[in-house]
């Protein structure tokens, strides 16, 4: 990786599907110094979506509350990778 990208990598984040689980298992064998992490932002995003479905105060209404707008902004940021 260092030769291909001209930079050293210390950590990699990937999703939790089958292909990435295998990558998280295989990469440390070749790159012992590298930290391989599952993407927790995606998991938190899914949790927020489920919670919003269960809480009556967050049901669709003509006018959204300040809290709802902030939560939606947070979810958009997480989805776009701005975190």
The pLDDT tens digits of the residues spanning 36-76 come to 777 777 677 778 778 777 777 666 666 667 777 777 877 77
Query: Which residue in 9, 6, 30, 26 sits closest to 18, CA to CA?
Result: 26
If asked whether residues 30 and 49 sit together in one domain, one would say no
How many folded domains does the chain comprise? 2
If asked whether residues 28 and 58 sit together in one domain, one would say no
pLDDT range class, residue 28, cuts 50, 70, 90: confident
Domain extent at residue 70: 40-80
Mean pLDDT of 16-28: 78
If asked whether residues 45 and 66 sit together in one domain, one would say yes
Asked if 27 and 36 count as a contact pair (C-beta separation under 8 A), the reply is yes
If asked whether residues 48 and 67 sit together in one domain, one would say yes
- 12-21 long-range contacts (CB < 8 A, ≥24 apart) are 12/36, 12/37, 13/37, 13/38, 13/39, 14/38, 14/39, 15/39, 15/42, 16/42, 16/43
If asked whether residues 45 and 34 sit together in one domain, one would say no
pLDDT range class, residue 8, cuts 50, 70, 90: confident
CA dist 42 and 49 (Å) reads 11
| pTM score of the predicted model | 0.36
């Amino acid at each position: 990786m260092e030769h291909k990208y001209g930079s050293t990598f210390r950590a990699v984040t990937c999703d939790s599907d089958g292909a990435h689980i295998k990558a998280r298992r295989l990469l440390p064998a070749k790159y012992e110094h590298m930290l391989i992490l599952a993407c927790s932002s995606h998991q938190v995003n899914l949790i927020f979506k489920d919670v919003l479905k269960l809480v009556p105060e967050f049901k669709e209404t003509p006018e959204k509350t300040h809290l709802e707008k902030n939560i939606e902004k947070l979810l958009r940021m997480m989805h776009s990778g701005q975190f």
